[in-house]
Amino acid sequence: MARQDMMEGSNMGTSKTARERIDSVLDAGSFMEMGERILARNTDFNEGGNKVYSDGVITGYGTVDGRPVYIYSQDPHVLGGSMAEMHAGKILRLYDMALKCGAPIIALMDSAGLRLNEGVDALDSYGKLYMAQTKAKGRIPQVAGIFGSCGGGGALSAALCDFVFMEDQSNLFISPPATRTTDASRCDMAAVLSDYPAARRLIGGGGTEEDVCLQIRGLITYLPLSSEDPVPQAEEAVNLNRPAGALQGGSTDPRLVISAIADPDSVLELFRNDCGDAVFCFARFNGKTVGVTGNAGDRYLTAEACDAMADFVDFCSAFGIPVLSLTDCPGFSADGCQEIKLPAAAAYLVSVWASAEIPRINLITGKAFGSAYAVMNSKGLGADFVFAWDTAQIQVMRGEDAVRILYAQELSRTEDKLSFLAEKAAAYEKKSGTPAFLARGCVDKVIAPADTRKYVIGALEMLSDKRTC
């Protein structure tokens, strides 16, 4: 919280001004300011009636790569960039225009928090902003960059955005440092990412101020302007049938797979600092934006990964972005804490997949066992195409685990249990493996890894005019 003369938590030593941040995101010379001469006002505690223009936030519109966006940048040098009535009013007018025109909102946040000398009106302003953000959810993309401080109500506003990028030295917190019992160092980006799964899921990228501005600018080029606009199309088509030679070795590392099958230099990874259980990115296939997600190579599914994948697919679904999922998953995590969290998280992922009417392709690169197979964009959940590499292993259950259940009595009477397990497990896996899934139509085609690109692009082209039923 901040007063006019008390700007605790603001980044007064910032290397860029609020206007410079805007200039770093937008095309050169494209920014048009709105509300430049709006005055701050004190409604509860009059502190002399000094005229303060802009009220700590610069708002306006411009272009990114020639495409329109609306943008605001909080100014920590003016009233600490603190939230107040007129400050919020400028942002609310920006949201109103963005929704009318169908264009993304970019929020460059650096604020001391709530302005105490405006009391009730300042607090009410946060509620109005949350309402505007909620109404915009799924209609226009909302992207935030965090510089300096983003605390209290500002942290909630950031969390309501679709993507959040944090400068390395910035702070994201609910409770002000003075009210916390833990060390304040836990509030920097590194601590947030290492200690708090929800915050890890929130973060789309980071680095220096310049890095964050460039990342935001890059992201905008992949996104539709609104839910009613088409997915961006790159001007130049590329080799559709390029063999994915890098996959000849059979690696299921999702980052290697994506880079090998997507258009060259077109992969924009998000949430790189997540817990490591899942991967999320935008990539171009034949020039068109596709959302790509999956677990991070032979990893057990965790609740955090399920939640994060569901959030990402939900965003893609709202904006008509096709999704390619990569599956290499031996099952769900058996950790005790995960047992508590996983049912709700997996159910959330299932519900998002089931309701997503966008083009959906599932590529099984490695293991796909049991219920984990089912929740990873399976045919039963409505995937349009399911491809499996010829090295993939698809099973109802791991062979040995199935044998222990199906042949429990025989196993107990057998002296050579290891040989019995191996023999029966091999027979089970042969009978209930990939051929069985093909026979039931759960897998459309088994393909060589090197041919993946042409099959994915072919499927995307067939689904380009997909309609809801």
Do residues 345 and 254 both lie within one domain? yes
pLDDT tens figures, 198-213: 344 456 778 889 999 9
Radius of gyration of the chain (CA): 25
Q: Is residue 254 part of a domain?
A: yes
Single out the residue in 178, 205, 220 at which a domain terminates: 220
**Number of domains present in the structure of the chain:** 2
Do residues 79 and 163 both lie within one domain? yes
| φ, ψ of residue 196 in degrees (nearest 5) | -125, 105
Whole-angstrom distance, CA of residue 161 vs CA of residue 196: 18
Q: Is residue 96 part of a domain?
A: yes
Q: Which are the contacts of 422, defined by CB distance < 8 A and separation ≥ 6?
A: none
Min mean pLDDT across 77-81, 164-168, 375-379 is at: 77-81
The type of residue at 61 is Y
Q: Is residue 364 part of a domain?
A: yes
Confidence of residue 252 (pLDDT cuts 50, 70, 90): confident
The encoded tokens of residue 266 equal 């077109």
pLDDT value for 274: 46
Closest C-alpha among 147, 100, 135 to residue 158: 147
pLDDT(136) > 60: yes
Single out the residue in 220, 236, 254 at which a domain terminates: 220
pLDDT value for 180: 54
Do residues 165 and 250 both lie within one domain? no
Do residues 329 and 457 both lie within one domain? yes
Whole-angstrom distance, CA of residue 249 vs CA of residue 50: 69
Do residues 286 and 355 both lie within one domain? yes
Mean pLDDT of the chain: 82
Do residues 181 and 322 both lie within one domain? no
pLDDT value for 281: 93
Mean pLDDT of 352-377: 94
Do residues 201 and 252 both lie within one domain? no
Distance, first Cα to last Cα, the chain:
50
Helix axes 303-318, 336-355, angle to 10 degrees: 20
Q: Is residue 261 part of a domain?
A: yes
Do residues 262 and 216 both lie within one domain? no
* 167 strand-pairing partners: 207
Residue 237 CA: distances (Å) to CA of 234, 244, 284, 286: 7, 17, 10, 5
Q: Which residue in the block uniquely carries the two structure tokens 């994948």?
A: 309
pLDDT value for 432: 66
- Strand 268-270 to 32-34 pairing: unpaired
Whole-angstrom distance, CA of residue 380 vs CA of residue 374: 7
Domain range for 249: 245-396+433-462
Mean pLDDT of 82-107: 91
Do residues 192 and 123 both lie within one domain? yes
Is the dihedral angle over the CA atoms 82, 83, 86, 90 positive or is it negative?
positive
pLDDT(225) > 70: yes
Do residues 214 and 259 both lie within one domain? no
Are residues 51 and 39 in contact, defined by beta-carbon separation less than 8 angstroms? yes
pLDDT tens figures, 1-26: 443 333 333 444 446 888 999 999 99
Is the dihedral angle over the CA atoms 422, 423, 425, 429 positive or is it negative?
positive
Single out the residue in 220, 253, 286 at which a domain terminates: 220
Are residues 268 and 467 in contact, defined by beta-carbon separation less than 8 angstroms? no
Q: Is residue 406 part of a domain?
A: no
Do residues 341 and 440 both lie within one domain? yes
User: Residue 186 maps to which CATH number?
Assistant: 3.90.226.10
Q: Is residue 189 part of a domain?
A: yes
Q: Residue 357: left if φ>0, alpha if ψ -120 to 50, beta else—which one?
A: alpha
Confidence of residue 112 (pLDDT cuts 50, 70, 90): confident
Mean pLDDT of 319-344: 89
Q: Is residue 165 part of a domain?
A: yes
Are residues 140 and 98 in contact, defined by beta-carbon separation less than 8 angstroms? yes
CA angle 37, 40, 44 (to 5 degrees): 160
pLDDT(301) > 80: yes
Mean pLDDT of 277-305: 89
Do residues 139 and 34 both lie within one domain? yes
Residue 229 CA: distances (Å) to CA of 57, 86, 289, 314, 359: 29, 32, 13, 17, 16
Mean pLDDT of 387-394: 92
Confidence of residue 327 (pLDDT cuts 50, 70, 90): very high
Whole-angstrom distance, CA of residue 29 vs CA of residue 63: 9
Q: Is residue 419 part of a domain?
A: no
Mean pLDDT of 375-381: 95
